[in-house]
Amino acid sequence: MKKGFLASVAICSLLFMAACGGNGTAKEASAETKTAAEQPAEKAAEPKTEVEAAPAAETLEPEVTAEQENPAEAVSESVTVSKTLDSFTEEDVSDADQQKLDQYMNEYDSVTQPLEPTINQMVTVITAVKNKEIDVNELKIELTKIKDSFTEIRHQFETIALPQLEFTALNDKFVELHDHTLSAIVAGEEANSLMLTALETENEDKLDEALEAFERMSQEGEAISAVSEELLAAMPD
């Protein structure tokens, strides 16, 4: 197995969690979105501050905490994590399984690469909304771009075939990783779609639903992190 792949998965999970920035950030952004939607049309014509680019994914790596050392306990209660994977050796993974893993990991890496610029842009937009640095029309454009990007990533991810390993315990972990990643992508797509709908319809209920989708994305990011940490701990050196 490739430890580099698990590093990519870890960054992926951090991106999902960083995009949400915790409930407080998401709530503030939702409140500001409501305010933006209520602005008169002429407000869009006012000069706006250029939004700076979000930091690269490499800046998101945190220090390992006690919870990360026992990742299954760090995941939110609403996300189910399967039983712990016992340590295994290279001999436990057949050549056929290794070939399937290599193919799956290469496809996973390729399809999830666009998540970094997409989520970085999402963070940029959320920050701009909080700081009142973006008008309604521009916000609609940016949310549409982000939503469309998530949709394309989801379509591509859904084409990835699970490895179907003979090593049942390891196969279960990759199924779990796959499902949590897809759920996080879907939540990101839904969150941006709901924010866009809220702006277009001035429906506050849609903002609440968007906040719930952001929370789901963060929870799935935690679950992805837990699975990747477990795989790293179990795999041979």
Structure confidence by residue, pLDDT tens digits, 69-86: 444 444 444 455 556 788
Domain count, the chain: 1
Q: Are 131 and 33 in contact (CB under 8 A)?
A: no
In this prediction, residue 114 carries a pLDDT of 96
Tell me the two tokens of residue 190: 């839904």
Evaluate whether residue 40 is within a structural domain.
Answer: no
Integer Cα distance of 86 and 103 in angstroms: 23
In this prediction, residue 48 carries a pLDDT of 44
First-to-final CA distance of the chain: 10
The CA-atom distances, in angstroms, between 48 and each of 35, 129, 223 are 16, 12, 38
Torsions phi, psi of 48, nearest 5? -125, 150
Evaluate whether residue 51 is within a structural domain.
Answer: no
Q: Specify the pTM.
A: 0.76
Evaluate whether residue 163 is within a structural domain.
Answer: yes
In this prediction, residue 21 carries a pLDDT of 62
Query: How does pLDDT run along the chain (237 residues), one tens digit per residue?
Result: 666 788 888 888 888 887 766 444 555 555 566 555 555 444 444 444 444 444 444 434 434 444 444 444 444 444 555 567 888 888 889 999 999 999 999 999 999 999 999 999 998 998 898 888 999 999 999 999 999 999 999 999 999 999 999 999 999 999 999 999 999 999 999 999 999 999 999 898 999 999 999 999 999 999 999 999 999 888 887
Evaluate whether residue 167 is within a structural domain.
Answer: yes
Evaluate whether residue 14 is within a structural domain.
Answer: yes
The CA-atom distances, in angstroms, between 215 and each of 64, 118, 132, 194 are 22, 18, 23, 13
In this prediction, residue 182 carries a pLDDT of 98
- Find how far residue 61's CA is from the centre of its chain: 14
The 8 Å CB, 24+ separation contacts for 156-162 are 156/111, 157/111, 157/112, 157/181, 157/182, 157/185, 158/182, 159/111, 160/104, 160/107, 160/108, 160/111, 161/104, 162/104
Evaluate whether residue 53 is within a structural domain.
Answer: no
- Taking CA 41 as the corner, what is the angle to CA 36 and CA 46, rounded to the nearest 5 degrees? 80
Evaluate whether residue 44 is within a structural domain.
Answer: no
Tell me the two tokens of residue 203: 């429906």
* Orientation of helix 95-112 relative to helix 3-20, angle to 10°: 30
- The residue whose two tokens read 């394309």 is 152
Domain that holds residue 209: 3-35+63-234
Evaluate whether residue 86 is within a structural domain.
Answer: yes
Tell me the two tokens of residue 94: 């057949």
Q: Are 154 and 118 in contact (CB under 8 A)?
A: no
Q: Are 123 and 188 in contact (CB under 8 A)?
A: no
Integer Cα distance of 100 and 167 in angstroms: 11
In this prediction, residue 82 carries a pLDDT of 58
